[in-house]
Every structure is written in structure tokens, then in C-alpha cells.
Amino acid sequence: MNQPDPKPSRTKVRSSSWTIAITVFLVIYLVLQWQQGQKANHQVELSSKQKSGSYSRELTDQKTLLPLKQVDQQAPAKPNQNAHQTTQLNQPIANDASTTTQTATSSPVKIKQIPANSNRPPPVEVSKRTGKSLPELGKLRDLGGQVWESTAGLKYGRGSQEKHRLLHIMRHAEDQPDRPGKHGVFAGNGERKKVLALIDEAYLQALKGGKNVQKKTQGKRVVYTVDMRRQVGFVGGQVGKKQGNPAAYKIRLVLEGANVITAFPL
């Protein structure tokens, strides 16, 4: 009998081996492709999270800067504030056209140029007869380092028991009936912009001089007492309370150059 030819079986074995090799190669290739896809998705997810976190931080920074920008819309604010004092310093200032109107009608004098050591240009001289409104007093712009400059060129920086001159000035925006002695309280219902507008107006009158202005020098400091010729507040504290809180018509300014030390009505 004839024996079967062994060659076909060898061909089948070789064919099976190639099939297995190709299958294994395809499996490995698919696994590698799947892993690369997973890595790409992971990178996209990380990038998305980073962008989301960056955007969130940007929104937080904008919310932090917003109160300072509201101090004076004419100039950008700088985030140099901290803790509780900063919260009080950066309260938004309400716009009140009555302050400008009152200033224009009560002060017929022309505005004099402010000292040269102030960075703010002098307010534009406008006569009462022209019908044009005076520069809006009491607005602030941030000079950096927790120093703010008013429309008239007065500077408010760090100092006093309250750690900042603005905080000290605002102690005179409301009465303290239990405080010993007299306590001058500005008109304006506690609004900082109105208080600072009165101080700006008194400062400009002090620079102009006149019978309603008294000036004294105490070392590096200059003390102005300006008769505003209208009520600008009242006398509070324990003494003022006993006297029935009489009206105040004068403003006292204590300055070092253009830097405000204190200001209050009397």
C-alpha cells in the first residue's frame, strides 16, 4: 500500500502558525492603540481641568479687585489690601449728584491749583457763572501701597490707631455718644464719598485762603480751620450729647504736605 504524503500536514501546520502569529500581532496592535487612546483622553481631561481651575481663579481675582475698582472708576485699582481693614476700606462708594450740586452752589470761589507734590493734575477752574459743574470731589484713585488720592490731591495712607487714615476719618462719619469729650461728626449719613467731598472742599478753600481760613504750623504739620459758612456736621460724643448735638460749621484739617493726618467738623 502507498503511504500518505506528509507534506500537506506540514503546510497546514505552517498556515496555522502564521494565522496565530497574525492574530497575536493584531491583538497587540489593538491593545496598543487602545492604550494610546486612553492616554490621549486622560491628557484632554487634565487640560480641561487645568483650564477650568485657571478660569475659576481668574473669576475669584476679578471679584477681589471689584471693590477697589469701584473706589474710582477713572483709574484701575490695585490689590494691596488685607483682612478686616481692607473690607472697610474697599466698600463701594455710592454716586450722589447732590454732593457736586451742593459744592457748586456753596462755593463760588474758583478752584486753586493743588501742591506740586501731588501726582493728580489740578482740578479745572470753573466759574459759578458758567453753569458748568465743578469736578466731582471726594473720589479716590489707588496709588499703590494702600495709598489713595482724592480729587483735590489729598493723600490717605497708613497710620493712626486704626492702621489707615481713611479708617480714622470714617470714625467721624458717625456719632459715638459714649466717647469722652467732643466728637465731630460729618454730614452725609456715613457715606464715605460725601465725607471726603467735604474734606476736599475745605482743603481747596484752605489753599485759597481768606478770612474764613485759619492756619497754624506745628513742626512738619499744618493745621487748617476752615469756616464752611454752612452746616457740615454736628458735635457728638458725651459733651455734644449734653449740649443737644449742636451744628458744626467748620472743618479742621491736619496735614503733612498733602498727606491727611486727620479731619473733623467742629
Distances (CA, A) of 214 to 132, 165, 208: 30, 23, 11
Does one domain contain both 15 and 103? Answer: no
Q: What pLDDT score was predicted for residue 45? A: 65
Q: At residue 56, what are phi and psi to the nearest 5 degrees? A: -65, -45
Does one domain contain both 61 and 4? Answer: yes
Does one domain contain both 250 and 119? Answer: yes
Q: Which of 71, 89, 109 is the last residue of a domain?
A: 71
What confidence tens digit (pLDDT) does each residue in 173-203 have? Answer: 999 999 999 999 999 888 999 999 999 999 9
SS3 at position 181: coil
Q: What pLDDT score was predicted for residue 29? A: 84
Which pTM value belongs to this model? Answer: 0.55
Q: Which of 71, 98, 113 is the last residue of a domain?
A: 71
What is the number of structural domains in the chain? 2
Does one domain contain both 58 and 82? Answer: no
DSSP 8-state symbol, 160: S
183-186 β-sheet, strand order = 183-186, 233-236, 247-248
Q: What pLDDT score was predicted for residue 1? A: 47
Residue 231, amino acid:
Q
Residue numbers in the chain where pLDDT is lower than 50: 1, 53-71, 73-89, 91-125
Does one domain contain both 22 and 122? Answer: no
Q: What pLDDT score was predicted for residue 48? A: 57
Does one domain contain both 18 and 110? Answer: no
Q: Which of 38, 71, 104 is the last residue of a domain?
A: 71
Does one domain contain both 222 and 141? Answer: yes
Does one domain contain both 135 and 54? Answer: no
Does one domain contain both 27 and 86? Answer: no
The domain of 46 spans 1-71
Does one domain contain both 41 and 167? Answer: no
Does one domain contain both 45 and 154? Answer: no
Does one domain contain both 64 and 83? Answer: no
